[in-house]
Amino acid sequence: MSILGTRVLRTEDPGFLSTGAVYTEDVQDERLAGACYVHFVRSTVAHAKINSIDTSAAKDADGVIAVYTAADLEADGIKPLKPMAPFMNQAMLQTLLASDTVRFVGEPVAAVVTEEIYQGEDAIELVDVDYEFLPAVVNMNDALAGEKGLLFPTAGTNLICTFGDASASNKDLFEGCEVVASETIQNTRVAPAPMESRSAAAVWGEDGRLTAWIPNQAAQGTKGSVVAGLGLKAEDVRVITPDVGGGFGAKFGADPEVLVTCWVAKQLGRPARWSETRMENLLGMTHGRAQQHKITIGGMKDGTVLAYRLEVIQDCGAYPKAGAFLPSLTILMTSGPYNIPRAESWSWSVVTNTTPVGAYRGAGRPEAAAAIDRAMDLFADAAGVDPAEVRRKNLLPKFTEPHKTAFGAVYDSGDYVTALEKCLAAADYEGLLAEQAKRRASGDTLQLGIGLSSYVEITGPGGEAGGPNENGTVEVHPDGTVTVLTGTSPHGQGHQTVWAMIVSQELGIPIEKITVKWGDTDLIPKGGGTGGSRSLQLGGAAVQQASRELLDVARERAAETLEASTADLVFDTVTSAFSVKGDPDISVPLSSLAGTERLFVRSVFTSPGPTFPFGTHVAVVEVDMETGKVYLRRVVTVDDAGTVINPLLAEGQRHGGIAQGAAQAFLEEFVYDEDGNPLTATFADYPFLSATEVPGYELVDMETPTSYNPLGAKGIGEAGSIGSTPAVQNAVIDAVSHLGITHIDMPTSPQRVWRAINAANGSKEA
C-alpha cells in the first residue's frame, strides 16, 4: 500500500508546537556568543538629497560600538548593487546604505551597532540626517511619463525595462468584433508580510570564512547574493538556513540590511545580529503586485471572444528588483486558459519613490489571471452572456499533449472545462443565481455576488540552461536510518515530511528514520530553493530518482552478497530487503549494504519544462448596499496540480493561497500618499487578514497528472492565490452589477463599493 497520496502528519510539528521552531532570531550557537546588535536608521522621506549625516550623538550613546554610513562602506570597497538582469537600466544602482540620495521611506541610511538590543532603538533616534526634499514620483503613470522627475538622473529615464513590443501593436486587433469592452484596472500593491520578518546573524571565523544564518527561500542563491554584494570569494561564504517563518517570494537573495550585518561582523571582528521590527518589514521588505493593466477585449454577441490586448505598467518601487522582471511572466500567461485567436501584450517596468517590488506568491501570474478574468466578466457583461457560459465557450478544450500558446508558453496538460464544471457544480451555481435573483427582487440590504475565475499558471520554471532541474542526495546508513539532502528550501511547506514519504515509498524505510536536510551551502552547494511552486515536481522528483538509483547501486552489492545475478533479485519495500526470486528466505537488508562502503547517490532530475496547474474558483460574497462592506461567504475551488502526494499538506497550501489572493481582492493594500509617505506601515493600519474576515474554503479534488516527472505532480504552492483574487473581485462587482456597475478596483473596500453604488444611483443616498 503506497504511502504516497495519504494524509501523513508532519514530522516537523512536535518540535514546532512545543519548544517552537528555531528561526534566525532564536539561533543559539557558540559561534555567535558575544554578538553585537545592528539597527538601522531609515529614511523618513520618499525622495531627498542627503546633505549630511551627524552620527556624533549616537556614537556617544550608551552601549554604541560603532555607527556606519555609506561612506564607510565605500571606503571599504563595497560597490553599489546593480539591477539583477543586464536588460534592466544599469544606471539604477543601490548603495547598501543610502549615499547621496534616499529614494523611498524606509530606505536604510545608517547602521548603528550596540552591545545590547535595547540600546539600539535609543541610539538610532540620535542620528541626525539633513534631508533636502526632492519631488516624489509616486504614481507609476507619472514615473513612466517622466515629467515629475527622475529617480536616477544619470539613467535619463524612470523606465527599467520593457517586455513585448508596443510598437508592434495590431491596430486592427478588434476588427470584426461585435462587442468590445475596455478598462484600466489596478492590481494593487500588497505587503507579503510573512509572520517572521527579516533577520541575520553573521560571524567571520579565524579561517577568514563568513558563516551567516539568514532566513531565505534558496540558500545557494542567497549565498550568491552575499558573495556578489560584498565582493567575496564563493569558498569563503557559508549560508545556513534556520527554520524560516514564511517567505512568499520575498526572502530570496540577500537584502542590503543582511549584507551590512555581514559586513559589520567583519569590521568589528565580532559576531553581529540583526532583526527588524514589523514596521521596518512593511517598509523595507519588497512589496508585491503593483501593476496597472489596460485591458481590451472583443468578440461576438454569442459570447465568443476573438481578441484581447493587455498593456501592463509595473511599479517597481525605488530600485529594480525581481518586480521589474515579473511582467515577463504576466505576458507569458496573457491568454490564460482561454483560446483567444488574437491576443497581444507588452509591459513597462518603472521606478517610483516607494518600497521596491519583488516576488509575491504567484509572482506575475496572479496579475495575468486577474486581468484576463476581469476582462472575461467585462466582456460577458457587454455581450449580455452569463460569465460561466463565456468561460465555457472560450476555455481551451482538454488536451493531453503539450499545447503551445501564442505567447510561447507550452502548457503540459490541461482539462479546463472539467475544472469549471466541477467547481460550478460544487458551488451550486444555479442555486446561487436563484438566490441572487430573489434578493434583487426584494431589494435586500445584503446583496449576493458570485464571481468566477478560470486560471492556468506556470510552475517550476528554470532559469538554468538545459531545463528546470533540482538535485537530491539519498544516503542509507548501516543503522537503517536515511539522510536526504535536497536543493529545495521549505519555509512551511513540509518537505521534511513529504521527501521522507517519497524516499520511504522507494526504500521501504519508515519516515521516522529519514532525516531531510537543506539550506546549508557547505552541505548542499547547489540548489534552486523553494519558489515558483517548483519543489515537489523537481526536488521531490530528484529524491525519488536518487532513491531509485540508490537501489540500483544496492542491487549490485546485494547480487555480490547473495551470489546471484542482479536480474534474479527482487527488492521488497515491506521488508526493505533484496532477496532472490522465488526464495524470500535468502535476503539481505538494504541498510546492511552500507556496512563496508557508504551507500548514497546524488542525482539531478531535469524536467522537460515547467508545468501548468489550473483550476476554477467560485467566490460568493454579500455586499451591504448601505455601507459598501463586503462579506466573503464562500470560496469554492478546483486547483488541479496533478498527482497529490500528501493531501493534508496540499490542502494547506491551497488554503493559504486562497486567503492571500482573496485578501488582495477585498481587504489588503499598501497605500502611499502623494508625497510617498506610507499610510499602512504597521499591522494596525495595513489591513492584514484575520480569521474573522474569511470563511472555511471548499476544496474540490481534481488531479490531471503531468507527464513531465514520474510523480505526475505539478506545483500547488501558488495556485490558490491565482484564482482567488479575480474570483472575489468579480463577485463583489457582480453583487452590484444590477445597478449597471461594471468595474470596481481592488481592494473592494467599503468606500470604493459605496462610491460605485452612489455613482450608479446618481448620487442619491444609497
Partner 1 sequence: MTEIKLTVNGVARSDEVEPRLLLIHYLRETLGLRAANIGCDTTSCGACTVLLDGESVKSCTVLAVQANNRAVTTTEGLVAPDGTMSVVQQAFRENHGLQCGFCTPGMVMAATSLLAENPHPTEQEVREGLEGNFCRCTGYHNIVQSVLAAADKLSGSASSSAEVTA
Partner 2 sequence: MIPASFDYEVAESAAHALSLLAEHGEDAKLLAGGHSLLPMMKVRLAQPAVLIDIARITELSGIRIEGDEVVIGATTRHAEVVGSDLIKAEAPILAYAAAQVGDPQIRHRGTIGGSLAHADPSADLPMAFLALGGSVEITGPSGVRVVAADDFFVGPFESVLSPEELLSAVRVPRGGSVPWGYQKFVRRANDWAIVGAAAYGGRVALASMGGTPLRALATEQALASGASVAEAALLAAEGTSPGYDFHADVDFREHLARVLVKRALEGKTG
If contact means CB under 5 to 8 A according to the sort of partner, which of partner 1, partner 2, none does residue 23 touch? Answer: partner 1
For partner 2, the closer of residues 565 and 692 by Cβ is 692
**Do residues 608 and 598 lie in contact, with contact meaning Cβ atoms separated by under 8 Å?**
no
Q: For partner 2, give the closer residue by CB, 687 or 715.
A: 687
Residue 125 interacts with partner 2 (CB under 8 A): yes or no? yes
Decide whether 400 or 682 has the Cβ nearer to partner 1.
682
Interactions with partner 1, residue window 312-331 (CB under 8 A): none
In the sheet with 446-456, reading across from the earlier edge strand, the strands are 446-456, 614-624, 630-640, 697-700
650: amino acid identity, one letter: A
Whose Cβ is closer to partner 1: residue 145's or residue 679's? 679
Distance in Å, CB of 630 to partner 2, minimum: 10
Least distance CB 358 / partner 1 (angstroms): 16
Q: For partner 2, give the closer residue by CB, 131 or 754.
A: 754
Is 121 strand, coil or helix? Answer: helix
DSSP per residue, 299-364: E-TTS-EEEEEEEEEEE--SS--HHHHTHHHHHHTTTTTB--SEEEEEEEEE--SS--B---TTTT
CA distance 183 to 295: 6
Does 57 interact with partner 2 (rule: CB under 8 A)?
Answer: no
Instruction: Tell me the β-bridge partners of 111.
Output: 40, 68
CB 50 within 8 A of CB 129: yes
Which lies closer to partner 2 via its Cβ, residue 202 or residue 625?
Answer: 625
Does position 692 interact with partner 2 (CB under 8 A)? The reply is: yes
Instruction: Candidates 6, 20, 575, 738: give the one binding partner 1 (CB under 8 A).
Output: 20
Partner that binds at residue 252, options partner 2, partner 1, none, CB closer than 5 to 8 Å by kind? none
- Residue closer to partner 2, measured from CB, 228 or 766: 766
Q: Which of 149, 224, 608, 652 is the binder for partner 1 (CB under 8 A)?
A: 652
Residue 635 binds partner 1 (CB under 8 A)? yes
> Looking at the DSSP assignment, which residues form a beta bridge with residue 479?
none
754 makes contact, choosing from partner 1, partner 2, none, with CB < 5 to 8 Å by partner type, with: partner 2
303 lies in the site for partner 2, by CB under 8 A: no
Nearest CB to partner 2, comparing residues 236 and 693: 693
Among 636, 667, 732, 735, binds partner 2 (CB under 8 A): 667
Say how far apart CA 667 and CA 687 lie, in whole Å: 6
Give the residue, chosen from 5, 26, 173, 209, that forms a contact with partner 1 under the rule CB under 8 A.
26
Does residue 629 interact with partner 2 by CB under 8 A?
A: yes
Residue 121 contact partner, candidates partner 1, partner 2, none, CB within 5 to 8 A by sort of partner: partner 2
- 258-297 residues near partner 1, rule: CB under 8 A: 277-279
18 binds, among partner 2, partner 1, none (CB under 5 to 8 A by kind): partner 1
- Regarding 493 and contact with partner 1 (CB under 8 A), the answer is yes
List, in order, residues 6 or more apart from 324 with CB less than 8 Å away.
83, 84, 85, 88, 160, 161, 314, 316, 349, 357
Which residue among 122, 183, 435, 522 contacts partner 2 (CB under 8 A)? 122
User: Hey, which residues does 346 pair with through a beta bridge?
Assistant: 311
Residues 256-295 that bind partner 2 (CB under 8 A): 277, 279
Q: Which long-range contacts link 92-97 to residues 24+ away (Cβ below 8 Å)? A: 92/151, 92/152, 92/155, 92/160, 92/319, 92/320, 92/351, 93/152, 94/256, 94/318, 94/319, 95/70, 96/70, 96/229, 96/256, 96/259, 96/260, 96/263, 97/68, 97/69, 97/70, 97/73, 97/256, 97/260
Indicate which of partner 2, partner 1, none lies near residue 667 (CB less than 5 to 8 Å, by partner kind).
partner 2
Nearer CB in complex with partner 2: 56/682: 682
- Reported residue count of the chain is 766
Complete DSSP assignment for 139-155: SHHHHHH-TT--S-GGG
User: Binding to partner 1 by residue 10, rule CB under 8 A?
Assistant: yes
Q: How far apart are CA 718 and CA 625, in angstroms?
A: 33
Is 23 or 518 the residue whose CB approaches partner 2 more closely? 23
Rg of the chain (C-alpha set): 27
User: How many CB atoms lie under 10 A from the CB of residue 502?
Assistant: 31
- In contact, 683 and 745? CB cutoff 8 Å: no
Nine cell digits for residue 402 = 503539450
- Cell numbers for 197, please give them: 520578518
Q: Which is nearer to partner 1, 224 or 246 (CB)?
A: 246
Is 696 an interacting residue with respect to partner 2 (CB under 8 A)?
no
- Binding partner 1 by CB under 8 A: which of 269, 463, 696, 762? 696
Q: Give how far Cα 467 sits from Cα of 10, 551, 607, Å.
A: 31, 26, 6
CA 592 centroid distance within chain: 43
**Binding string, residues 235-254; x marks residues near partner 1 by CB under 8 A:** --------xxxx-x------
Our CB check for partner 1 shows the closer of 191 and 543 to be 191
The conformation of residue 197, written as its DSSP 8-state character, comes to -
Find which of partner 2, partner 1, none residue 403 binds, CB within 5 to 8 Å per kind: none
Phi–psi pair at 155, nearest 5 degrees: -75, -25
Among 227, 482, 509, 694, contact with partner 1 (rule: CB under 8 A):
694
| Alpha carbons 697 and 632: distance in angstroms, whole number | 11
From partner 2, partner 1, none, which one binds at residue 465 (CB under 5 to 8 Å depending on kind)? none
Q: Cα–Cα distance between 444 and 437 in angstroms, integer?
A: 11
Q: Determine the interface stretch with partner 1 among 14-22, 545-553, 561-569, 607-615 (rule: CB under 8 A).
A: 14-22
Binding at 627: pick from partner 2, partner 1, none (beta carbon under 5-8 Å per type): partner 2
Number of residues that bind partner 2 (CB under 8 A): 28
Among 633, 743, 752, 755, binds partner 1 (CB under 8 A): 633
Which among partner 1, partner 2, none contacts residue 761 (Cβ within 5 to 8 A by kind)? Answer: none
Angle between the N-to-C axes of helices 219-230 and 256-268, in degrees from 0 to 180, rounded to the nearest 10: 60
The interface with partner 1 within residues 142-201 (CB under 8 A) comprises 193-197
**Amino acid identity of 62?**
D
Q: Specify the stretch interacting with partner 2 by CB under 8 A; choose among 19-27, 262-270, 647-655, 749-757.
A: 749-757
Q: Does 690 bind partner 1 (CB under 8 A)?
A: yes
Integer Cα distance of 376 and 370 in angstroms: 10
- 748 in Cβ contact with 630 (< 8 Å): yes
| 98 grid coordinates | 543610502
Supply 130's cell numbers.
539633513
From residue 670 to residue 689, the character string flagging contacts with partner 2 as x (rule: CB under 8 A) and all else as - is -x-------xx---x--xxx
Complex with partner 2: residue 152 or 754, whichever CB lies closer: 754
Residue 214 CB, nearest approach to partner 1 (Å): 16
Q: In DSSP terms, which residues pair with 614 in a beta bridge? A: 456, 640
Our finding on whether 698 is near partner 1 (CB under 8 A) is: yes
Q: Which residues bind partner 1 (CB under 8 A)?
A: 9-10, 12-14, 16-23, 25-26, 28, 117-118, 193-197, 243-246, 248, 277-279, 491-494, 633-636, 648-649, 651-652, 655-660, 682-684, 688-692, 694-698, 720
Q: Which residues bind partner 2 (CB under 8 A)?
A: 117-118, 121-122, 125, 277, 279, 626-627, 629, 667, 671, 679-680, 684, 687-690, 692-693, 749-751, 754-755, 765-766
